[in-house]
C-alpha cells in the first residue's frame, strides 16, 4: 500500500504509468493541497509516477515479490541481510538503464557476493 500526500499549497496530480510488466491498474488523479489517498499495487512491477502539472516531479515505485530489497550506497556497494541459503536470481533496477539479473548462491551461514553492471542502452 502506498500513501500519496499533497503537502504543498497548490494542486498536483498523480499520474501512474505501467512499467515493463504492466501488471497493476494505472490511474491519473488530481490531488488538492493537504489531501492524502492510498493505493495498493499487488503485483510485482516498476511504476513511474508523474505530476502532469509540474514536469520535474517524477518518482518510481517498485513492487517486489519478496521482502529482500535494498538501495545502493553512493559508491554502488550494497548488502542484503537475512537471506536464507539457496539459489536465487538477484535483480538490480535503474530508471534509465533497466534491469540486470545475475544468479546468486547463498551457502548456509555464508556470504554471497554478486557484482552487477548496467549496460549503456545508447551504446
Task: State the Cα angle at 120 between 45 and 64, rounded to 5°.
Answer: 15
How high is the pLDDT of residue 42? 86
State whether CATH 1.10.1740.10 applies to domain 2-63. Answer: no
- The residue extents of the domains of the chain are 2-63, 67-123
How high is the pLDDT of residue 98? 86
Per-residue pLDDT of the chain (123 residues; tens, 9 = 90+): 999 999 999 999 999 998 766 678 889 999 999 999 999 998 888 899 999 999 999 999 999 989 999 999 999 999 999 999 999 999 999 888 888 999 999 998 878 999 999 988 777
Quick one: DSSP state of residue 33? T
Can you give the pTM of this predicted structure? Answer: 0.77
Cell numbers found for residue 68: 529482500
User: Are residues 92 and 118 in contact, defined by beta-carbon separation less than 8 angstroms?
Assistant: yes
Instruction: Indicate the pairing of strand 58-63 with strand 86-94.
Output: unpaired
**Residue 62 CB coordination number (10 Å):** 13
Proportion of the chain in helix, strand, coil states, percent, rounded to 5: 0, 40, 60
Amino acid at each position: 500500500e502506498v500513501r500519496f500526500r499533497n503537502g504543498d499549497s497548490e494542486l498536483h496530480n498523480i499520474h501512474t504509468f505501467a512499467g515493463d510488466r504492466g501488471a497493476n491498474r494505472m490511474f491519473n488523479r488530481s490531488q488538492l493541497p493537504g489531501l492524502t489517498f492510498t493505493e495498493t499495487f499487488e503485483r510485482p512491477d516498476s511504476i513511474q509516477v508523474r505530476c502532469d502539472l509540474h514536469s520535474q516531479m517524477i518518482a518510481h515505485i517498485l513492487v517486489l515479490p519478496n521482502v529482500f530489497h535494498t538501495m545502493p550506497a553512493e559508491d554502488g556497494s550494497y548488502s542484503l541481510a537475512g537471506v536464507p541459503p539457496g539459489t536465487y536470481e538477484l535483480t538490480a533496477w535503474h530508471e534509465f538503464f533497466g534491469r540486470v539479473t545475475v544468479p546468486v548462491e547463498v551457502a548456509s551461514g555464508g556470504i554471497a557476493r554478486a557484482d552487477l553492471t548496467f549496460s549503456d542502452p545508447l551504446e
